[in-house]
Chain A
Amino acid sequence: MRRQTYKSWGNLPFGKQKVIPLLSRSDPLPTLSEGETILPYGNGRSYGDSCLNTDGALIDTRYLDHMIQFDRERGVVTCESGVFLKDLLTLLIPDGWCLPVLPGTQFVTVGGAIANDVHGKNHSQFGSFGCHVLQFELLRSDGRRLLCSPTQNEVYYHATIGGLGLTGVIVWAQIQARPISSTDLECETIKFSGVEDFFRLEEDSQNTHEYRVAWIDCLSKGTALGRGHYSRANHADGRRVSRDSLLWKKRISFPLTPPISAVNKFTLQAFNSVYFHRQRKTIRKDTLSFETFFFPLDHIRQWNRMYGPRGFYQYQCVLPMDQACTGVTTLLRMIASGGIGSFLVVLKAFGDCAAPGMLSFSRPGVTLALDIPNHGQRTLDALSRLDEIVLNANGALYPAKDARMPPDMFRASFPRLDEFIPLIDPVFSSSFWRRIQPTSQSGDER
């Protein structure tokens, strides 16, 4: 078995790994040599190293892509863990069903969505992806196949949702879909001029609009600090569900990795400014198709290549509501003055739905996410400064997006960590997991 370069979405250099495909849902896990570790790999859409296992092996689940059952009356679908959300949507939508939680790309696997307990733009109403997982099968290295649900093998159920692939391989899962009235979305985009406006809009919209998200012009300073666009949307009325809304007429592609990043001071300044002013009126109303609204970035295949061969970091934090307004303002001020610069700074509010995973990221509060080109130590230093603000506000960082958080940041982010650790499968590990081990306990590293 040759070592291969499997990457994560951030394209940061992490080295090679042995790749072992799991060819069938009835296959056992491979026999490993002494000291070897494994980690399941879906489609590599995590940004950092949580889906990688450098110097260890990856269990590639891409061939676990079979549907198992679909109850069209109740909207319950069972499929193998390597199935893409795109394929689930293609199955569900013609019958008027939809996945209740949709992340920013449909090219993630069901297993990956569970292992990172992903969230969408409607967290306050539907919580995270894990809230809709009725049951799944977990394959452990000792050969056991555990059927996990809220009432059966519950500890493994709660450890595996958001468990970063460390508790075993999710072989198949059963998910409860939700009905939708239409694949079209009635969307309102409102220009706002600062962080406080965002919170005001949130308050106005939380009972009237299911999907809510804001884009922020991260380069604006002074009085314009925190200006942006607030989008709120609902599924359109009237029964119109269309499978066609899932097919981009033409997807374009970023064909090559340019030798240097296309994302720099000038392109960022230009983009942020043009994007903010693209809309003249304060409020714009549109009817958007399903893919345009939920997955705008999927329109450009391999958009991650625009950051060049050095790749990029994502930084996503959540701050509790009472700290959110001042915390976000401080973060944005730091970002604008520190010249971190990002195309996509996204601000969303999480609702009160309790996430089912011990290591779930979503929790009541406000979450801020940004992409940052990798400029080496300069970028790492700037992100450490953001860490301090997040820590002071009792916030947390998202492992699915992370490639650099220090061990104490991880521990502070996940208070149920000690409950989780004993449930990790002894031969499972990841680059991320080894990285966030406290250095004083390096003897315990898996």
Chain B
Amino acid sequence: MTNIAIFGVTSAIAQATGRLMACDGTRFCLIGRNAEQLEIIKQDYLVRGASDVFVFPCDLASRTTHQDLVDNIMQSVGQLDIVLLAHGVLPDQAACEEDPFEMSEAFEVNALSHMSLLTVLANVMAQHTKGTLAVITSVAGVRGRKSNYVYGAAKGAVSIFLDGLRHRLSSTGVQVLDIRPGFVDTPMTADFEKGPLWASPEDIARGILKAIEKRKDVTYLPHFWWWIMMIIRHLPRFVMHKTGL
């Protein structure tokens, strides 16, 4: 039996990833805020072949509940093989520039809540000799850009946190995977005009499974974002400052 926990499963990428894994012999723990939607996803995974599905409705932004939540999950399934962290919001950059509370709120949901959960989960996973801790960060975390540096800073913080966690767990055999998607066509990005760089949640989901299978540390999805981000990362500042990126 493969036990899979997905935090923020109502997000399009997470849901698509779980769907690809839903087959005989997989048991899911689904965590999200919307209880009704969790039931819908539970039904969906069961019909598609999952052996068992447990749901845990809760607000992951409230950090004090994290230890209890993970304890509950462990009580239900005993052991975790794959953990995927996918919750988060796309903050309004302009509002974050105006209001420090808005800014720290965005950081809370996109960075601190992940780090808090990862702290609890790492201690659980460290007792195993295998398994995967996969976290969806973003290409936005690679370099601060004026169009969304608040989101980028939060995602970048999680990436550095994961680097350190990977170092810490390197002797255990637990994979720590940093997933960095580019533009993905989801409800979170519904207001953007889509172009050729955009990927579907299903494309990203397939990439995540492949990265887990290959036991990668960091994956850019789709892969061409590695090249794009390499260029952006190395742009001299005087060039960068002339762009609207």
A residues near B (Cβ < 8 Å) are 1-2, 4-5, 19, 21, 23-26, 63, 66-70, 91
Q: Would you list 28 pairs from A and B whose C-beta atoms are within 8 A, ordered by A residue?
A: A1-B191, A2-B191, A2-B192, A2-B193, A4-B193, A4-B194, A5-B193, A19-B190, A21-B187, A23-B187, A24-B36, A24-B40, A26-B36, A63-B12, A63-B187, A66-B40, A66-B43, A67-B43, A67-B47, A67-B48, A68-B43, A68-B44, A68-B47, A69-B43, A69-B47, A70-B47, A91-B47, A91-B48
Tell me which residues across on chain B come within 8 A of A69, comparing CB atoms.
43, 47
Pick the contact of A24 from B37, B47, B48, B194 — CB < 8 Å?
B37
CB of B153 within 8 Å of the partner chain: no
State A91–B194 Cα separation when bound (angstroms). Answer: 31
B interface residues, Cβ below 8 angstroms from A = 12, 34, 36-37, 40-41, 43-44, 47-48, 187, 190-194
Interchain CB contact under 8 A, A66 and B41: yes
A2 to B34: give the CA distance in the assembly, Å. Answer: 26
- Whether A21 pairs with B190 at a CB distance below 8 angstroms is yes
Q: Across the interface, which residues of B come within 8 angstroms of A26, CB to CB?
A: 36
* Residues of the B chain whose Cβ atoms lie less than 8 Å from the Cβ of A63: 12, 187
Closest to B49 in A: A91
Interchain CA distance A275-B36 in the complex, whole Å: 53
Closest to A3 in B: B193
Q: What is the chain B residue whose CB lies nearest that of A63?
A: B187
Chain A proximity of B218: nearest CB distance (Å):
27
Bound-state Cα–Cα, A25 to B48, Å: 18
Instruction: Give the nearest-CB partner of A5 in chain B.
Output: B193
A285 CA to B144 CA in the complex, in Å? Answer: 62
Extra contacts besides A5-B193, A24-B36 (13): CB < 8 Å: A1-B190, A2-B191, A2-B193, A4-B193, A4-B194, A21-B190, A26-B36, A66-B40, A66-B43, A67-B43, A67-B47, A67-B48, A91-B47
Residues on B with C-beta less than 8 A from A91 are 47-48
Cα A248 to Cα B34 with chains together (Å): 36
Across the A-B interface, give the 9 residue pairs with the lowest CB-CB distance, nearest first.
A67-B47, A66-B44, A67-B44, A70-B47, A2-B191, A66-B40, A24-B37, A21-B190, A23-B187
A279 to B: closest C-beta gap in Å: 37
A302 to chain B, nearest CB (A): 12
Roughly how many angstroms separate A5 CA and B36 CA in the complex, as a whole number? 32
- Residues from chain B with a CB closer than 8 A to the CB of A4 are 193-194
Give Cα A127–Cα B19 distance, bound, in whole angstroms. Answer: 32
Query: Hey, which chain A residues are within 8 Å of B191, CB to CB?
Result: 1-2
CB distance from B78 to the nearest CB of A (A): 27
B167 to chain A, nearest CB (A): 38
**How distant is the Cα of A91 from the Cα of B41 in the complex, in angstroms?**
16
